[in-house]
Amino acid sequence: MKIEKQLELLTARHVDLFSEDELKKKLEIAATEGRGLRIKYGADPSAPDIHLGHVVGLNKLREFQDAGHTVVFIIGDFTGMIGDPSGKSATRPALSKEQVRVNAESYKKQVFKVLDPEKTEIRFNSEWLGEMKFEDVIRLSSHVTVAQLLARDDFSKRYADNRPISLVEFLYPLVQAYDSVMVEADVELGGTDQLFNLLLGRELQKIYGQHPQCVMTLPLIEGLDGVQKMSKSLNNYVGIDETAKEMFGKLMSVSDELMWKYFHYVLCRTPDEIETMRAGVASGELHPRAVKEDLARSVVDRFVGEGEGAKAAEEFARIFAQKKLPQEMLELALSAEKIGLIDLVVKAGFASSNGEARRLIQQGGVRIDDEQNKDIKAEITPAEGMILRVGKRKFARIGF
């Protein structure tokens, strides 16, 4: 692929890039030497749930791979002990070797839905960090000043507000930067929140006599609520390992405005394509619902499997537009004896306590065979094929 063309492709959708000239130079050198660049990407080991927010970065990595470069995917099993210094909890318990291995397998399975395994090098940073002696840590620390670290927004704010910053958190960017040295990264990719850490990698590489890596950041996309960044802890994410049904439903609940972002960053639709759709919606030619369905369907097709999107769309229409029953639902085995409605709801796992079940019933959220039942004292005589529904989304078919 021609350099110009590559550059155009590779720089799409980025936020920061240090710098385009450097990247160009690196591409040229790599081309003349007949090798690919090493693209570093770090991942947190404790949350092996890849979601659409990660996909933004993974898409970019894939583009690098398609242009002939190698992705070095680092699982931060060692840094995981420190905890991400994003202001929340400081240290976490170290993961056991076994746990790391399990997580890594789960990572691979998910990540390779986007990345090309042939061009991916998976590394654990405990490989080199676990070997370090305290002496080495001191030497490493000597390269960076407190003032440099305080330049990081998050740190300086917390310092100014008298909020604690653990020393170990200071070490985090340093360690991440050291990873770049160890894998000899040519380019490092990350979310915009990683900018500081990525740039520190450049500094450290220089100190260690390497060519500094290019740094590219990609946006953090908002989660389902449309406000906060997509993240597991906020539970506003769409995981790429979820069922078609869940994925589809979640995407359909995204606001009309946010869906364009998902088209762009998750599905890599070009600004032109998106502009066309937007215009269609604006003129009334296209129904926003149809556009969103296209989004949901495409995402499901991509991560669950070709054709799954259409199925999920059908199912969704059945349940929410036509108010019919889903094709598959939980089977609840009971005996033929009478059972209290409250017990039934709890037994199906739709309420975690009798109190909650009682509330659901009183609020009209419980239906038997599509008939609302608000009587908390009701006794039900189970019948084969009887349908229990709680809320909009929970269904169970009773059997024996």
Partner RNA sequence: AGUGGGGUACCGAAGCGGUCAAACGGGGCAGACUGUAACUCUGCUGGCUCAGCCUUCGAAGGUUCGAAUCCUUCCCCCACUACCA
Determine the Cα–Cα distance for residues 177 and 204; give it in Å rounded to an integer: 6
Q: Please, which of residues 246-275 interact with RNA by CB under 7 A? A: 246, 248-250, 252-256
Determine the Cα–Cα distance for residues 295 and 260; give it in Å rounded to an integer: 9
In the complex, least distance from residue 111 CB atom to RNA, rounded to whole angstroms: 24
Verify binding: residue 391, RNA, rule CB under 7 A. yes
Q: Please, which of residues 153-182 interact with RNA by CB under 7 A? A: 162-164
How far is residue 124 from each of residues 65, 154, 179, 239, measured CA to CA in Å?
A: 20, 26, 10, 23
Comparing CB distances to RNA, the nearer of 203 and 294 is 294
In the complex, least distance from residue 203 CB atom to RNA, rounded to whole angstroms: 26
Comparing CB distances to RNA, the nearer of 11 and 354 is 354
Q: Binding residues for RNA, how many (CB under 7 A)? A: 39
Comparing CB distances to RNA, the nearer of 41 and 248 is 248
Residue 72 pairs in a beta bridge with: 40, 121
Of 108-116, 127-135, 269-277, 354-362, the segment contacting RNA by CB under 7 A is 354-362
Among 270, 276, 327, 353, binds RNA (CB under 7 A): 353
Verify binding: residue 85, RNA, rule CB under 7 A. no
Dihedral (CA of 206, 212, 216, 220) sign? negative
Comparing CB distances to RNA, the nearer of 64 and 350 is 350
Task: Count the helices and strands in the chain (H runs, E runs).
Answer: 17, 13
Verify binding: residue 364, RNA, rule CB under 7 A. yes
The amino acid present at 287, given as its one-letter code, is H
Determine the Cα–Cα distance for residues 250 and 226; give it in Å rounded to an integer: 12
Determine the Cα–Cα distance for residues 268 and 271; give it in Å rounded to an integer: 9
Of 25-33, 42-50, 139-147, 241-249, the segment contacting RNA by CB under 7 A is 241-249
Among 51, 297, 302, 394, binds RNA (CB under 7 A): 394
Site string for RNA, 285-304 (x = CB under 7 A): ---xx--x------------
Three-class HEC string of 196-226: HHHHHHHHHHHHCCCCCCEEEEECCCECCCC
Comparing CB distances to RNA, the nearer of 206 and 359 is 359
How far is residue 399 from each of residues 259, 345, 361, measured CA to CA in Å?
A: 40, 15, 22
Other Cβ atoms closer than 10 A to 267: 17
The amino acid present at 109, given as its one-letter code, is K
In the complex, least distance from residue 39 CB atom to RNA, rounded to whole angstroms: 34
Among 245, 269, 302, 311, binds RNA (CB under 7 A): 245
Verify binding: residue 324, RNA, rule CB under 7 A. no
In the complex, least distance from residue 165 CB atom to RNA, rounded to whole angstroms: 7
Comparing CB distances to RNA, the nearer of 265 and 350 is 350
Determine the Cα–Cα distance for residues 125 and 388; give it in Å rounded to an integer: 50
Does residue 45 contact residue 103 with C-beta atoms inside 8 Å? yes
DSSP-derived 3-state class of residue 367: strand
Does residue 382 contact residue 336 with C-beta atoms inside 8 Å? yes
Comparing CB distances to RNA, the nearer of 307 and 391 is 391
Other Cβ atoms closer than 10 A to 65: 20
The amino acid present at 249, given as its one-letter code, is G
The amino acid present at 333, given as its one-letter code, is A
Site string for RNA, 214-233 (x = CB under 7 A): -----------xx-------
Comparing CB distances to RNA, the nearer of 307 and 364 is 364
Verify binding: residue 89, RNA, rule CB under 7 A. no
What is the binding site for RNA (CB under 7 A)? 162-164, 225-226, 235-236, 245-246, 248-250, 252-256, 288-289, 292, 316, 320-321, 352-356, 358-360, 363-365, 390-394
